[in-house]
Amino acid sequence: MRRPIELSVNGVTEEVYVEPWWTLARVLRDELGLTGTKVSCETGDCGACTVNIDGRAVRSCIYPVMKAVGKKIVTIEGLSGEDDSLHPLQQAFLDHFAVQCGYCTPGMVMSANALLQENPHPTEAEIKEGLKGNLCRCTGYNKIIQAVAAAASASAPNKEN
Amino acid sequence: MAEFAYVGRSVPKVDARAKVLGKTKFVSEEGIGFPGMLYGKVLFSPHAHARIVKIDTSKAAAVRGVRAVLTGKDVPETRVGMLIDDRHILCREIVRFVGDPVACVAAESEDAAAEAVRLIEVEYEILPAIFDAEAAMAPDCPVVIHPDLPAYNRPLYAYMGKDLPGPNVHTHHKVRKGDVDRAFAEADFIVENRYECDRITHCQMEPYNSVCYPQTDGTATVWTSARLHETHDPLLQAFGLNPSQLRTRTSYQGGMFGMIGRPERFTLLLAQKTGRPVKMVYTREENFIEGLNRLAEIVYVKDGLKKDGTIVAREIKGIVNTGAYTHHGPLVIRNGAFHASQYRLPNYRWDAYGIYTNTPACGPLRGFGSAEVIWATEQHMDLDARAVGMDPIEFRLLNTPDAGERDVRGTLVTCIGAKRCLKIVSDRIEWGEPSDQPAESHIKVGKGIALANKYSMADTASSVILDMKPDGVLEISHGGDDCGQGLNTVLTQIAAEQFSVPMEMVRIVWGDSWRSPYDFGTASSRSTLYIGNALIKACDDAKRQIRELAAKKLGMDDGDIEVGKGGFWLRDNPEKVFPMSFLSLANHPEARGTVKGATCLEESAGIRGTGVFWGHPGAEDPETGQGERLAISYSYGAQAAEVAVDTETGVVKILRLYSAFDTGKTMHPTMCEAQHEGGMVQGIGSALYEGFIFDEAGVLMNPNLHDYKVCSTGDVPSGDDLWVALVEDPHPEGPYGAKGTGESAMCPTASAVANAIYNAVGVRLTQLPMTPERVLAALKEQRGDSRTDAAT
Ligand code: FES
Ligand code: FES
């Protein structure tokens, strides 16, 4: 039986009817239409579905939705500002060509966001450690690591060269 | 060289902003919340080889919400395929691998569909199965997987169906040049070895998925997360439809790497039967089993050498396990021979055999034949160099052809940056200087290099439509795919360059078989060259039309008009740019009030340029594999690796990986570099981690991203240690001199790593992936003083 729950997503309280065994990813995508959160493996192995819960990076594909009640969920949609102004991490991903197909990108950005909240000035090794759970098949990671480092030092280069 | 405003510059990637915002609509978002959507699910065979005795679907059909349960008797009787028609949409009588689709279900919810699939009862009569390609190849192999093979239809490259040495051999591709036996007899050294690579898969991050919407007029729209063309055409064939009965659509794909649409045949089948829209998203496990993976290959290489280091003969025998069905397999096998154009080989014999086994069906994957063969030949080049006592780089340089020579197949070598690339990576890795060894004596560090090429087939075509809108906006329609590599950005650059307009004035429309002009699709490292050329032709066509119309209207000569900047101007007055709307019907001198908004022209709906680029392939001689023009371009390049081998654990760590490739012309330096970095890391994955593991019953044991390891940030060098150089040796036929480059970066990586391992610890790993277990086994064998290096 579906039951009503309240979720705090991107600063808004949403009422949704869910089956108690549903994952957070399923509710975000199918019930709330927040499809920026991607699902790729559904076994917790790739990080595509990463969102932030109370500031920590969480894999929403294996996170029971009932556990998320009463917590603050932030998805990729909640990171940008008014009129789609980009969060510094999103801007850095753009500037550094850290996006190819972009399917890993939302999860990657949310993992990086949690990392920088915990450690605002990580070393390259710490960035690599922090993003270890997020797979990207396209980029080889170099540009992603550079983007996160740039966002951390808040000195992103010019868009064009 | 001319300076360009957009081409060759790292302009913003047109799709990146929506992607970082999480707003890009991938196909996996298609149909979410669509009213009346059904969800599809497939029942896969649990046996590697069995006869279906009986299927009882009654319990499944009784599950609440189930709308269809379909089996082999519900699918067309004719077999389909790409080069060999050897497969039904659902198995009708025999299952041939663990994972062969037996039935499919559509239900109101994913949960109901899964429940129904569980309740389908199938009675099987188990048949003996065969998994090993060399055993399956035997003329008297007791297991025959496709007894009707001789009668199967071969729509393409049928000549590869001759001289088949056994009943499970479906393909034999030959290349012959010179007198190999005589050259071997006269050679000073003969070097022979055997190499093997396990099966790997794409692991594109967006899982295979599809939605099909049946339409009230009897047509259907099917969405695919794979390539447009390579999904659309097989569906037409499988369902006996004509192109106007099926509309295939796609969007930005979440990665590709060669993958071919899979669930579309089921969503279409289920939608046809139920009259309802059907959505399917494969689980990761289904991605592994049903995806058409890179085939497993055994490569025997024999080289004949002169004392001075020249290769006088090469013989290759490839035994290719394509699994239970062929799909692109025979073409992958054939294209493996393209590797040979890399060196000057006066005498050459190539025999590659495609073998059916009771393992999952294979297909295309980045590198398409080249990566598998180069894995063997580029280690072999090191063995050769050792045999003749030369440095591996000197040896390669000596045997690398120059532009103007004919390659092994008879194709003219037009541009080849191979030597430059070798020099770049060898300088950077300080070739000749021994690696620094760490204090821990069980860690050994060494360097290796490899050369590679990746062809682009000549036997393909692209077409582009360019509409110039009244406001000067350029709308490009193409039939290729943007899977993240940046095709839409590159086409935007070209159009902006051609018309001297900002990139914002260019709009791209693609991914719709009813709207997009014909294209072979994004494959074979071809999109920039083919679609770029077609676009330039379309631009020329549009400009010509504008010149004619403007000249007529202004009473001038065509030659007096220049086109660009969102409009046109008179050659002698470039300051005054006429807007496109100057030509519209609304501005006709006789126009009255009611046509004021008319954006069409007086005699046509608008300016529409079209362009086609075809590779004009030369025929291939079936007996010798010779052909004047089989590939349209080759991307040549080299990589150098430095690795650390832990002799206690067998773990190999890549310390540095440098790559240099010849792009002809780099259209977008940063995107190209990024694509190469991705290819190198995929190459590292194939070298060290990725491989299918089957149990003795043919069950895939690692169909998930936990047990099948894709490189993560922890496994790869980064920063300056993962480094790319792009060399430009312009291709005479390329747009701005560019040629394809998408696949090449993956091709030399595994051999460069293997050669570095040899340099570090003196053992030669001949099977991919080079796992710690295999490294330790090789080290153990070495301690037993029986080296695996055939050249010693
Ligand atoms: S989809 Fe959640 S970790 Fe892969
Ligand atoms: S950009 Fe494609 S998976 Fe990361």
- With contacts defined as CB-CB under 8 Å, which chain B residues touch A115? none
The answer to whether residue B312 sits within a structural domain is yes
Using the atom order of ligand 2, give the atom closest to the CA of residue A100: 1
Residue bearing the CA closest to ligand 1, atom 3: A44
Does some domain include residue B651? yes
- Specify if B492 maps to a domain: yes
User: Tens digit of pLDDT for each residue in B585-609?
Assistant: 998 888 888 888 888 998 889 999 9
Residue B10 lies in a domain: no
Q: What is the pLDDT of residues B305-333, one digit of tens each?
A: 999 999 999 999 999 999 999 999 999 99
Considering the domain architecture, whether residues B305 and B415 belong to the same structural domain is answered as yes
Dihedral sign, Cα of residue B777, residue B780, residue B782, residue B786: negative
Residues A57 and A115 in one domain: no
Residues A68, A124: one domain?
no
Query: Is B594 in the same domain as B661?
Result: no
Find the A32 Cα to ligand 2 centroid distance in Å: 24
B489 lies in which domain range?
460-614
The verdict on B442 and B505 lying in the same domain is: no
Look up tokens 């594109």; give the residue: B204
Mean pLDDT score, B452-467: 96
- Residue B679's nearest CA partner among B709, B722, B641 is B722
The predicted pLDDT at position A155 comes to 45
Same domain, B593 and B650: no
Instruction: Examine residue A123 and state whether it is found in any structural domain, yes or no.
Output: yes
In a domain, A95, yes or no: yes
Give one DSSP letter per residue of B251-315, joined into a string: -S-S--TT----THHHHHHHHHHHSS-EEEE--HHHHHHHS-BBPEEEEEEEEEE-TTS-EEEEE
Q: Which residues contact A29 (CB under 8 A, 6 or more apart)?
A: A35, A37, A39, B29, B32
The pLDDT assigned to B695 comes to 98
A61 lines ligand 1 (CB under 6 A): yes
In a domain, A94, yes or no: yes
Instruction: Give pLDDT, residue A160.
Output: 39
Of the three residues A28, A47, A78, the one that is the final residue of a domain is: A78
Neighbours of B573 (CB within 10 A): 10
pLDDT for res B214:
98
pLDDT band at B785 (very low <50, low <70, confident <90, very high): low
pLDDT > 90 in chain B, percent: 93
Note whether residue A27 is domain-resident: yes
Are residues B320 and B469 located together in one domain of the fold?
no
Residues from chain A contacting residue B28 (CB–CB below 8 Å): 38-39
Q: Angle B370-388/B749-761 helices, nearest 10 degrees? A: 30
Nearest to B718 among A100, A124, A137 (CB): A124
Strands A56-59 and A50-53 turn out to be: antiparallel
Question: Which residues share a beta bridge with B727?
Answer: B662
% of chain B surpassing 70 pLDDT: 99
Q: Give the ligand 1 atom nearest the CA of A50.
A: 2
Distance CA A109, CA A87 (A): 10
Residue B654 has, within 13 A of its CA and on its CB side, a CA count of 38
Within a domain: A96:
yes
Task: Identify the pLDDT of residue B788.
Answer: 47
- CA distances in angstroms from B187 to B181, B278, B305, B397, listed in the order given: 10, 63, 5, 20
How many Å apart are CA B368 and CA B379, to the nearest integer? 19
Model confidence at A31, pLDDT cuts 50, 70, 90, reads: very high
Q: Closest Cα to residue B705, out of A39, A30, A25, A126? A: A39
My answer on whether B465 and B433 are in the same domain is no
Q: Is residue A29 part of a domain?
A: yes
Whether the CB-CB separation of B708 and B393 falls below 8 Å is answered with no
Give the three-state DSSP class for B695: coil
Closest CA to B213 of B222, B224, B225: B222
B206: nearest CB among A40, A84, A135: A40
The CATH number that applies at residue A24 is 3.10.20.30
Domain end position, chosen among A24, A57, A78: A78
Is B327 in a helix, a strand, or coil? coil
Contact B252 A141 (CB under 8 A): no
The span from the CA of B657 to the CA of B634, in Å, is 22
Amino acid type, B70: L
Number of domains in chain B: 3
Provide the pLDDT for residue A83.
92
Q: Are residues A41 and A94 in the same domain?
A: no
> Nearest CA to A52 among A100, A106, A89, A103?
A106
Asked if A71 and A130 sit in the same domain, the reply is: no
B678–A contact, CB cutoff 8 A: yes
Decide if pLDDT at B792 tops 90. no
Indicate whether B3 pLDDT > 90.
no
Label residue B787 by pLDDT band (50, 70, 90): very low
Cα(B15)–Cα(B489) distance, integer angstroms: 8
Tell whether A110 and A63 lie within a shared domain: no
Domain end (from B576, B595, B614): B614
Are A161 and B10 in contact (CB < 8 Å)? yes
Is the separation of the CB atoms in B197 and B753 below 8 Å? Answer: no
The protein residue with its alpha carbon nearest to ligand 2, atom 3, reads A136
A105/B204 touch (CB, cutoff 8 Å), yes or no: no
Q: Is residue B154 part of a domain?
A: no
Do B488 and B372 reside in the same domain of the chain?
A: no
Rounded to whole angstroms, how far apart are CA atoms A32 and A77? 12
B642-661 pLDDT tens trace:
999 999 999 999 999 999 99
Q: Could you say which of A103, A133, A140 has the minimum Cβ distance to residue B678?
A: A140
pLDDT at B130 over 90: yes
Of B258, B290, B322, the residue that ends a domain is B290
Question: Tens digits of per-residue pLDDT, B413-447?
Answer: 888 889 999 999 999 999 999 999 999 999 999 99
Tell me the CATH number at B111. 3.90.1170.50
- Taking residues B764-786, what's their average pLDDT? 93
Are the Cβ atoms of B205 and A143 closer than 8 angstroms?
no
Which tokens hold the place of B173? 């591709």
State pLDDT tens for residues B214-242. 999 999 999 999 999 999 999 999 999 99
Q: Is residue A116, in this structure, part of any structural domain at all?
A: yes
> Does residue B638 lie in a domain region?
yes
- The enclosing H or E element of A92 equals helix A88-95
Query: Do residues B454 and B464 both lie within one domain?
Result: no
Residue B279, pLDDT > 60, answer: yes
- In a domain, residue B99? The reply is yes
Residues 22..61 of B with a Cβ closer than 8 Å to A: which? Answer: 22-26, 28-29, 32-33
Q: What is the pLDDT of residues B72-85, one digit of tens each?
A: 999 999 999 999 99
pLDDT at B2: 66
Instruction: Tell me the residues of chain B between 484 and 513 that have a Cβ less than 8 Å away from chain A.
Output: 484-486
pLDDT of residue A158: 42
CB A7 within 8 A of CB A16: yes
Q: Could you tell me if A68 and A93 lie in one domain?
A: no
Strand B311-323, strand B348-356: pairing = parallel
Regarding whether B509 and B442 lie in a shared domain, the answer is no
| Residue B304: CATH number of its domain | 3.30.365.10
Q: Is A143's C-beta closer than 6 angstroms to any atom of ligand 1? A: no
Instruction: Write down which residue in A26, A57, A78 finishes a domain.
Output: A78
- Are B645 and B513 in the same domain? no
Query: Residue B725: which of B432, B511, B420, B480 has the closest Cα?
Result: B420
Cβ of B207 within 8 Å of Cβ of A134? The answer is no
Nearest-angstrom CA–CA distance, A91 and A85: 9
Last residue of a domain, one of B290, B324, B357: B290
Q: Which of B365-379, B482-496, B578-592 has the lowest average pLDDT?
A: B578-592
pLDDT value of residue B470: 84
Residues A17 and A73 in one domain: yes
A29 Cβ inside 6 Å of ligand 1: no
Q: How many domains does the structure of chain A reveal?
A: 2
**Stretch 51-110 of chain A: residues touching chain B, C-beta under 8 Å:** 75-77, 80, 84, 86, 90-91, 93-94, 97, 99-106, 109
Whole-prediction pTM: 0.96
Q: What is the CATH number of the domain that holds A107?
A: 1.10.150.120
CB contacts of B253 in chain A (<8 Å) are 101
- Domain holding A24, by residue range, is 3-78
Does ipTM exceed 0.90? yes
In chain B, what residues touch A80 (CB-CB under 8 Å)? 21
Q: Are residues B551 and B667 in the same domain?
A: no
